[in-house]
């Protein structure tokens, strides 16, 4: 029963193919039966009937190909029979005549090709004559799809039968020229059929037609594979005959699809050496192609081949150079963009990308070539309408990013054309590009060692360094943080062997970053300041630090400016304070500059008093101050006392009792510095010559150098460590007092967030133990024993036992005492203590 | 393929456009069979008409480059693709042969896929015969194709019997095809 439902085009195709296929099978069946019966006439009749199915116009090329393959297989039976007939004495000339009686031209030509191939193989006829005859006669079929498959059949059955050089059919059968002529003619005819297809039928079918043409492409391209496989095709013949004929056909057909495809075929199908040797001809064709052809794809595949070729053998690059391959390529690209003004900007840029890729792969020493590529690209795009389109911008960014990876990024950025191409981008894209530049430099690990390079680099990343007046839109906060993080990392790429040079780089950078506003300064100033402290360290380590240019003092002043600027920028007081403290330690420890170090502490104190926003931050800041001051050994007694007094005073101002208590405990250490580490002293004074003994210095505060220091510019020797038991005791007692006060306060109103006073007592106990161990005479064993009992009472409370952390802390403390008892050298101290 | 049929080899890279095709007569025991060898384009862009020639194949030869890991890894894809497109009646037992080619390259120093690895893969896929070849040096090419021909013949099942709708009473038995295709 016939199904009357409307079929989809796919279903129709399947059905039509099925019908045609059945008919092929049926006729093939009768053909083969006739062959078995030795009935040539019947066999030919059925084979013609079978081949008539190939006259269908209903099938798409891919379906037609299936039908063709079926018929192709069946024709092999006929071919075998022809050979048999021949062995029985029938001449091929006879058969060649006989098959021409088929009524229809298409079956007739398939049969003729089949016999023709046998005829050539028998060598009863000259290959060149039969081939010429067949390739001419195929002109009888002018329907594109049928004609293309017929000619492809001709090619296939004559495979191996061409009078190629060294082939058994060479000689009387002709020579390589005949073989080439046959294939070139077939190629030309097929291309004409293929192109003509574009112009048949109505405009509304265009899309379908173009898709069918794409499917048929390989039938045309196949000829080129066969040409390229010929033994007799040497470079000379390729250059003199083949290339010209192919290119002529490609250019003159004026068909986009054909040009796009065939250029790829030529590039992929013939060897590298051929392309290199005929580059001018190949490139000359590019501007001649239709404007819709994606020349950048053609070019990219050519350049990809050439650069891989260059990688195989160093002599290839010499060949490139001697023929100025780069110059030729650049000129060709330039010509294409001049010729096709309507070409999309993105495609133009893509051509230059292909070229830049090639240059990067083949000419690692020729960054000047990149300059020329960019220059030409700028010219091509400067007047172009769609430069600001997203697609184009994306390509321009890719073009600018490429050489940063294949060459030294700083050198590339220094190319005169680089900023010009970058100026084609919209401000927002410039920013994205700036991010790419920074990322690449960080990835490659380039060192930036010239102030001019810093200037240049910052010009390129200007959108990251400061707000641009044209770019009003607010950035996403997270993006902003990420970008500034990158910039901060970039600062660590500024570096030079010579400290003076390095310092100059940082100065340049700071000047530029100053325009960035508070939001950026909090990211950019700290790395600059820390890099500068690194320089101080290097300078101080030099044998004659004070004679250095710049002096450590000068660099520290620079750090001071950075920190001060950061403090003024608002919202960054804590960071500025930390910076002052770090600088103070550097001034004290490395550079031995007392007055500078003092100034840094004063600045930190001012910030503490005026700018720290909340009590939690105050606690942290004070801890930092105490820590820094404790380690400083530069100050003579009087200035040191002033600083210590202030810091201790701050501890009383903290809001919570617990904080006060801990701060006072910390302050106790300001009166008790660790015993001298002789190596440190040596290091700090190594500017003084090595003959001075470390021991001599440890015992006095007045080394010869101290007298030199009139204005703070001379390096100071370190002071002996302060060990002031009286003040330590005052601190400890105050801490106990505060802890008791906290306990009382807590008894009035206990809040869950409060620290249990027992914590404070255990901490105090630990401090007592420390000083006891240090040999502080005011702490006797009985004092300690009393304290131990006090704490034990505290710990007995229910609240305390519920706090697992506290219990662990306390137990660890007791375990420490027990452990100390076992040490012979400590036994005398600890034995008396009872737990 | 060119080495096997024409005893020719070229090391120059030339892409195959469309499917290439050669025939070779080969003696297997007492039978002379004609082998049709189809070589598919390696680049997809040159495979515009599809792979109708997979259908009806009697054997499928998968070739990889022992010096390029990727080509070995791609064997799976090629095998799957073949089975999908050719849709043979019995995919699990369809005869494949694997060739590890270019063993001559750099005297084996650039080799990255070991023979053991390749054989493991072949065993895992149901015992596919494996040959190490050099098309350049004509090493093992003939014996590989002998094996291919044998496997193809083994697979040559009786063709799906075709009878026309109208039966001619004089019809005789269908001749047995002696050609195989791979």
Radius of gyration of chain B (CA): 18
Contact (CB<8Å) A214/B48: yes
Region A522-526: what's the mean pLDDT?
91
Give the total number of structural domains in chain B. 1
Contact (CB<8Å) B48/A215: yes
B164 close contact with A: CB closer than 8 A:
yes
B16 close contact with A: CB closer than 8 A:
yes
Residues 113-152 of B with CB under 8 A from A: none
Average model confidence (pLDDT) for chain B?
80
Region A130-147: what's the mean pLDDT?
96
In the sheet that holds B20-28, the strands lie side by side as B20-28, B31-39, B179-181
SS3 B28: strand
Measure CB to CB from residue A271 to each of B13, B55, B165 and give the nearest one.
Answer: B13
Provide the pLDDT for residue A700.
Answer: 39
By CA distance, what is A152's nearest residue in B? Answer: B18
B2 close contact with A: CB closer than 8 A:
yes
Interface predicted TM-score (ipTM) of this complex, two decimals: 0.83
Provide the pLDDT for residue B163.
Answer: 62
- pLDDT, tens digit, for every residue of B137-147? 888 888 888 88
**CA A99, A100, A105, A109 torsion: positive or negative?**
positive
In chain A, residues with a C-beta closer than 8 Å to the C-beta of B168 are 30, 33
Provide the pLDDT for residue A706.
Answer: 36
Is residue B22 assigned to a domain?
no
Provide the pLDDT for residue B160.
Answer: 54
In chain B, residues with a C-beta closer than 8 Å to the C-beta of A37 are 172
Is residue B31 assigned to a domain?
no
Measure CB to CB from residue B43 to each of A159, A224, A268 and give the nearest one.
Answer: A268
A714 close contact with B: CB closer than 8 A:
no
| Angstrom distance (rounded) from CA B132 to CA B111 | 12
Contact (CB<8Å) A65/B49: yes
Establish whether the linkage from the previous residue to A550 is cis, with ω within 30° of 0.
yes
Provide the pLDDT for residue A517.
Answer: 82
SS3 B36: strand
Judged against a pLDDT cut of 70, whether residue A710 lies above it is answered with no
What count of other Cβ atoms lies within 10 Å of the Cβ of residue A373?
29
Distance from CA of B46 to the nearest CA of A (A): 6
Judged against a pLDDT cut of 80, whether residue A689 lies above it is answered with no
Contact (CB<8Å) A218/B16: no
Provide the pLDDT for residue A687.
Answer: 40
Provide the pLDDT for residue A701.
Answer: 37
Contact (CB<8Å) A33/B171: yes
First-to-last alpha carbon distance for chain A, in angstroms, is: 107
| Angstrom distance (rounded) from CA A217 to CA B49 | 8
Judged against a pLDDT cut of 50, whether residue A703 lies above it is answered with no
B14 close contact with A: CB closer than 8 A:
yes
Provide the pLDDT for residue B150.
Answer: 87
What count of other Cβ atoms lies within 10 Å of the Cβ of residue A301?
16
- pLDDT, tens digit, for every residue of A220-230? 999 999 999 99
B176 close contact with A: CB closer than 8 A:
no
Region A773-777: what's the mean pLDDT?
86
Extract the tokens encoding A58. 């209903």
| Angstrom distance (rounded) from CA A254 to CA A17 | 34
The crossing angle, in degrees rounded to 10, of helices A781-796 and A804-822 is 150
Provide the pLDDT for residue A484.
Answer: 92
In chain B, residues with a C-beta closer than 8 Å to the C-beta of A271 are 12-14
Q: Name the residue with higher pLDDT: B115 or A701.
A: B115
A153 close contact with B: CB closer than 8 A:
no
Strands (E), A349-447: none
In chain B, residues with a C-beta closer than 8 Å to the C-beta of A87 are none
Over pLDDT 70: what percentage of chain A? 92
pLDDT band at A473 (very low <50, low <70, confident <90, very high): low
Provide the pLDDT for residue B170.
Answer: 41
Q: Name the residue with higher pLDDT: A672 or B50.
A: A672
Q: Which CATH number does the domain housing residue B73 bear?
A: 3.40.50.300
B177 close contact with A: CB closer than 8 A:
yes
SS3 A686: helix
Least confident of A6-10, A76-80, A565-569, A715-719: A715-719
Phi, psi of A11 (to 5 degrees): -65, -40
Contacts (Cβ under 8 Å, ≥6 apart) of A98? A40, A44
pLDDT band at A268 (very low <50, low <70, confident <90, very high): very high
Provide the pLDDT for residue B1.
Answer: 66
What count of other Cβ atoms lies within 10 Å of the Cβ of residue A700?
11
Provide the pLDDT for residue B175.
Answer: 33
A224 close contact with B: CB closer than 8 A:
yes
Is residue B70 assigned to a domain?
yes
Contact (CB<8Å) A221/B162: no
- pLDDT, tens digit, for every residue of A596-647? 899 999 999 999 998 888 888 898 999 999 999 998 888 888 899 999 999 9
In chain A, residues with a C-beta closer than 8 Å to the C-beta of B21 are 156, 159
Provide the pLDDT for residue A744.
Answer: 83
Least confident of A387-401, A590-604, A736-750: A736-750
Distance from CA of B1 to the nearest CA of A (A): 13
Distance from CA of B21 to the nearest CA of A (A): 7
Measure CB to CB from residue A218 to each of B46, B55, B175 and give the nearest one.
Answer: B46
Is residue B165 assigned to a domain?
no
Average model confidence (pLDDT) for chain A?
88
């Amino acid at each position: 029963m016939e199904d009357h439902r409307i079929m989809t085009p796919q279903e129709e195709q399947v059905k039509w193919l099925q019908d045609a296929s059945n008919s092929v099978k049926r006729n093939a069946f009768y053909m083969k039966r006739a062959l078995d019966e030795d009935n040539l006439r019947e066999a030919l009749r059925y084979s013609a009937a079978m081949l008539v199915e190939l006259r269908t116009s209903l099938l798409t090329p891919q379906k037609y190909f299936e039908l063709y393959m079926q018929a192709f297989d069946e024709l092999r039976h006929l071919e075998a029979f022809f050979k048999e007939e021949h062995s029985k004495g029938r001449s091929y000339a006879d058969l060649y005549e006989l098959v021409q009686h088929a009524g229809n031209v298409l079956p007739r030509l398939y049969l003729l090709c089949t016999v023709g191939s046998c005829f050539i193989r028998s060598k009863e006829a000259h290959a060149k004559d039969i081939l010429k005859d067949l390739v001419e006669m195929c002109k009888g079929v002018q329907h594109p799809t049928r004609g293309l498959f017929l000619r492809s059949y001709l090619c296939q059955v004559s495979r191996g039968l061409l009078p190629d050089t060294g082939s058994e059919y060479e000689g009387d059968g002709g020579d390589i020229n005949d073989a080439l002529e046959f294939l070139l003619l077939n190629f030309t005819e097929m291309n004409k059929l293929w192109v003509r297809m574009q112009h048949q039928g109505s405009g509304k079918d265009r899309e379908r037609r173009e898709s069918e043409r794409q499917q048929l492409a390989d039938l045309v391209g196949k000829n080129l594979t066969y040409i390229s496989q010929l033994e007799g095709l040497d470079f000379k013949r390729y250059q003199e005959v083949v290339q010209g004929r192919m290119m002529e056909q490609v250019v003159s057909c004026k068909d986009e699809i054909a040009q796009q495809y065939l250029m790829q075929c030529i590039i992929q199908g013939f060897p590298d050496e051929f392309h290199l040797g005929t580059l001018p001809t190949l490139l000359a064709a590019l501007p001649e192609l239709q404007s819709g052809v994606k020349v950048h794809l053609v070019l990219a595949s050519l350049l990809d081949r050439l650069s891989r070729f260059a990688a195989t053998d160093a002599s290839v690059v010499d060949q490139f150079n001697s023929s100025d391959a780069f110059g030729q390529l650049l000129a060709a690209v330039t010509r294409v963009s001049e010729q096709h003004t309507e070409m999309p900007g993105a495609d133009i840029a893509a051509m230059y990308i292909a070229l830049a890729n090639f240059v990067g792969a083949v000419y690692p020493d020729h960054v000047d070539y990149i300059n020329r590529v960019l220059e030409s690209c700028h010219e091509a795009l400067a007047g172009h309408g769609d430069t600001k389109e997203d697609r184009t911008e994306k390509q321009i960014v890719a073009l600018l990013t490429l050489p940063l990876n294949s060459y030294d990024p700083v050198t590339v950025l220094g190319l005169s054309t680089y900023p010009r191409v970058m100026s084609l981008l919209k401000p927002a894209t410039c920013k994205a590009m700036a991010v790419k530049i920074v990322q690449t430099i960080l990835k490659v690990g380039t060192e930036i060692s010239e102030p001019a390079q810093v200037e240049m680099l910052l010009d390129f990343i200007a959108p990251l360094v400061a707000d641009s007046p044209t770019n009003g839109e607010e950035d996403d906060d997270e993006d902003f943080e990420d970008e500034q993080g990158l910039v901060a990392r970039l600062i660590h790429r500024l570096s030079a062997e010579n400290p003076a040079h390095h310092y100059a780089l940082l100065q340049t950078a700071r000047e530029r970053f100053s325009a960035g506003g508070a939001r950026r300064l909090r990211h950019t100033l700290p790395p600059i300041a820390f890099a500068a402290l690194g320089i101080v360290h290097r300078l101080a380590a030099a044998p004659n630090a004070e004679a250095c240019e710049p002096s450590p003092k000068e660099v520290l002043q620079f750090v001071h400016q950075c920190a001060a600027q950061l403090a003024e920028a608002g919202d960054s007081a804590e960071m500025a304070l930390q910076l002052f403290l770090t600088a103070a330690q550097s001034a004290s420890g490395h550079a031995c500059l007392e007055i500078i170090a003092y100034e840094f502490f004063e600045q930190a104190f001012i910030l503490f008093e005026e700018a720290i926003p909340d009590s939690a931050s105050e606690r942290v800041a004070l801890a930092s101050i105490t820590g820094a001051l404790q380690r400083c050994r530069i100050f003579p007694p009087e200035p040191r006392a002033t600083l210590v007094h202030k810091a201790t005073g701050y501890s009383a101002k903290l809001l919570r009792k617990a904080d006060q208590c801990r701060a006072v405990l910390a302050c106790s250490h300001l009166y008790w510095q660790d015993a001298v580490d002789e190596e440190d002293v040596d290091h700090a004074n190594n500017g003084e010559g090595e003959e001075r003994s470390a021991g001599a210095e440890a015992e006095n505060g007045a080394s010869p150098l101290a007298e030199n220091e009139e204005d703070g510019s001379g390096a100071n020797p370190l002071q002996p460590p302060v060990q002031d038991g009286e003040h330590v005791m005052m601190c400890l007692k105050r801490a106990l007092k505060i802890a008791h006060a906290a306990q009382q306060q807590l008894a009035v109103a206990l809040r869950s967030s409060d620290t249990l006073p027992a914590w404070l007592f255990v901490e105090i106990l630990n401090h007592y133990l420390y000083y006891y161990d240090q040999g502080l005479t005011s702490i006797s064993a009985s004092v300690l024993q009393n304290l131990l009992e006090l704490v034990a009472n505290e710990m007995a409370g229910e609240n305390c036992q519920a706090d697992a952390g506290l219990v662990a802390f306390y137990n660890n403390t007791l375990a420490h005492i027990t452990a100390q008892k076992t040490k012979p050298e400590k036994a005398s101290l600890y034995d008396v203590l009872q737990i | 393929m060119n080495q096997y049929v024409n005893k020719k080899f070229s090391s120059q890279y030339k892409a195959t456009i469309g499917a290439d095709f050669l025939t070779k007569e080969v003696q297997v025991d007492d039978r002379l069979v004609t082998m049709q060898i189809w070589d598919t384009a390696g680049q997809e862009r040159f495979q515009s008409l599809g792979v109708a020639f997979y259908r009806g194949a009697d054997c499928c030869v998968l070739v990889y480059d022992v010096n390029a890991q990727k080509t070995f890894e791609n064997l799976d894809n090629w095998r799957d693709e073949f089975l999908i497109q050719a849709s043979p009646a019995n995919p699990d037992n369809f005869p494949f042969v694997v060739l590890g080619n270019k063993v001559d390259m750099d005297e084996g120093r650039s080799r990255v896929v070991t023979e053991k690895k390749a054989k493991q893969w072949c065993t895992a896929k149901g015992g596919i015969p494996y040959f190490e070849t050099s098309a350049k040096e004509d090493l093992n090419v003939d014996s590989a194709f002998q094996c291919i021909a044998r496997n193809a013949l083994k697979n040559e099942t009786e063709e799906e019997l075709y009878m026309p709708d109208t039966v001619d009473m004089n019809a005789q038995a269908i001749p047995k095809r002696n050609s195989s295709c791979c």
